[in-house]
Chain A
Amino acid sequence: MTKTARGSLLDIEHLDAKEITGLLQLARRMNPLKPRPLLRGKRVLLLFYEASTRTRSSFEIAAKEMDAMTTLVLSSGSSIEKGESLLDTAYTLQAVGADVMVVRHPAAGAPLLMARHLKIPVINAGDGMHEHPSQALLDAYTILRHKKKLQGLQVTIIGDIYHSRVARSAIHLLSKFGARITLCGPPELLPELATCLAPNLHISRTAEEAVRGADVVMVLRVQKERLAGLKIRLQDYIARYQMTLARMKLAKRDAMVMHPGPIIRGLEITWEVADCPQSVIVEEVANGVPVRMAILARALGKA
């Protein structure tokens, strides 16, 4: 494999536990309320080929908190619409002076392709169905604000796991720290192959069984935009897998409800569960800022 620039964050799979712990510790020292000019004079390029609310805004705010300049390039309204290739766009943005590139792309492996050809670090802000490393880091950060450690925690991930880059990154991360992970969903959204991702993964086909005794319940959205002809009967899905208060009662009393967003109330999660006291869905978003500050600081060698 061709070398990639130091500081790149391309996936969780190839990070070791020590690097992850380091990033989480750094994130704890980042306080969005007390800006630190760590990245003064640096240029952070945000290159987004897919829609994003949370990831894009929190990377941008994280960069600005540290006094970096940010430039946003979207696939619509740029030369990408004229047919420019990913690598040519990447070379162009490196040439205008980007110091780090944050990229979201619908093709799995696109950030790695860029990183193999650029001199500057590349941060994966979500690539196709592959990984979403900054989300997994902020989820771990969030869990650790409520739980002492990840080891031994019973984590249930329920929903559309097949199409989910969030699930892949979360599974890699949590399993590196010895969490006990149960995956739950219908076979179309959770093939048996999923157990190959990490050791000791369990699959459950019923929400009740999967949630029982859980410390963390991570709910995932059904990704309609990636179903590619797959037919899911939403009424059946809701009946069997929607996270309801009744199902949450089967989890531990202090169980956390997580969701990477965007949430579709009434589909994978009810209104009541999304807003229940155990829900940390909004906190996850807030935690995205210090975690992404840490990722950017590490990328630019300032930490």
Chain B
Amino acid sequence: MAHDKLKSGGLLIKGGHVIDPAGKIDGPMDVLLHDGRVADVAPPNKIRGSADQTLNARGLVVTPGFIDLHVHLREPGQSYKETIASGTAAAAAGGFTSVCCMPNTSPVVDSVEWVTWLQQPQRGAVVNVFPIAAATQASKGAVLTDFRGLQRAGAVGVSDDGRPILNETTMRDTLRLAAEINLPVIQHAEDTRLTDNCSMNESSTSFRLGLRGMKVAAEAAIVDRDVQLAQQFAGARLHVAHLSTADALKAVRRGKRSKAHVTCEVTPHHFTLTDADVGEYNTYCKMNPPLRSAADREALIVALADGTVDAIATDHAPHATHEKIIEFEKAMFGITGLETALGLAITRLHREHRIPLARIVELFTAGPARVVELRGRGTLARGSHADVTIFDPKKRWTFEAAKSHSKSNNSPFDGWHFTGKVVATIVSGKIVYRSN
């Protein structure tokens, strides 16, 4: 049986509601996948060609496979937190068919060898893995890496994520050289000179808890500077990672109005939680950038709706228990996010804030595909990769962190109720996740 399926292939997704913002499709459609590609998308029962496997998608939404621009798969070197196998299993369960993994591993992914290593089949990835390589050697901010070589090896962007490029000359050189080969530069915007010893957003909560607070300016000032630098080089592509403040949004809007190629992503936790959620030293609400004020959160939601934001990215950052169940100031920054992203987006953005489902799908598909130029992904156009996400926009469910596919369970959303659940995730025409 299994042998037959492998041989002939072909998967027909029948009776679903297709939302493909890239192809401007939003209606009842069947989708036929063949040989790892989209063979046809057509109104119900109008598909030409056949498949030996059919997936009934009645009542479900069928979209291009989700793309996450920002995950930490922790390999090489930190497999006690996550592996490529476990992280991509979590991605599949969250509806993501492609993930871009950050280079702040041990060692840092700053060479062709490591970029190649990440993509080898032995890693056991169940979804597509697109490496983001370090912009500078060991992400030390001094010597630039070999952008051309890294890109040829498969890197889709460069970033010193977690260790922002502070030096203006280095950032200028990074943007200039990356522009020559159309490579996006992804910046974790944080002026670390202003955030020393800080563990949350500067706010009434940080003052009350006696925690040193990060200032909004630490993010906004770097975004502002980077946007100005990006304007100086034709072809420079600046992508602002996990943008979290209203002030930084202003800089991005300025950049977008000018000729500069500036994009940005926002995480589900930043559009859902605020610094008040730190409550009584909840380390599962400790991340970098930190949770911000309610006004910042509202500004992010407006920007997600109006098109200023290009993508929802999770910043999935798994950590072991011993790195989180400790003193707040000592605890590692970051939370897991792959499996809760869609539930949060539908529950908060669609149901509460009335952002159309098609816009949310765009933020998970066409938007991120454009940021890192993943050709033939983020769309269901005929001939594109057969990466498909199927979800039930009305299904109510409860997230249990302990049952996560990730190796870690550092999520503030444990026990949260969501509306909107992934039903199936298909990569290259193969079902890699199916909910029961």
Residues of A within 8 A of B (CB): 1, 13, 85-87, 105, 107-110, 112-113, 127-131, 162, 165, 168, 191, 193-194, 196-197, 228-229
Contact = CB atoms under 8 A, between A and B. Distances in A.
A124 to B, nearest CB: 11
Contacts, number: 66
Given A85-B322, A109-B281, A193 B210 contact: no
A194 B326 contact: no
Given A86-B327, A87-B326, A107-B327, A228 B208 contact: no
B4 interface: no
B207 A130 contact: no
Contact of A196 (B204, B212, B325): B204
Interface of B: 196-197, 202-204, 206-212, 279-281, 322, 325-330
A107 B330 contact: yes
B59 to A, nearest CB: 39
A165 B203 CA distance: 17
Contact of A108 (B196, B281, B325): B281
Given A108-B210, A129-B211, A1 B327 contact: no
Given A165-B210, A168-B208, A193-B207, A109 B327 contact: yes
Contacts of A113: 281, 325-328
> Of B202, B208, B322, which is in contact with the most chain A CB atoms at under 10 Å from its CB?
B208
Contacts of A112: 280-281
Contacts of B326: 85-87, 113
Contacts of A127: 210
A127 B206 CA distance: 14
30 contacts: A1-B280, A85-B322, A105-B327, A107-B329, A108-B209, A108-B210, A108-B211, A108-B281, A108-B329, A109-B281, A109-B327, A109-B328, A112-B280, A113-B281, A113-B326, A113-B327, A128-B211, A128-B329, A130-B209, A130-B210, A162-B207, A168-B210, A193-B204, A193-B206, A193-B207, A196-B204, A196-B208, A197-B208, A228-B212, A229-B196
> Of B206, B280, B330, which is in contact with the most chain A CB atoms at under 10 Å from its CB?
B280
Contact of A197 (B207, B211, B279, B280): B207
A85 B321 CA distance: 12
Contacts of A109: 209, 280-281, 327-329
Nearest to B330: A107
B203 A193 contact: yes
Nearest to A161: B207
A168 B207 CA distance: 9
A162 B206 CA distance: 11
Contact of B279 (A1, A105, A165): A1
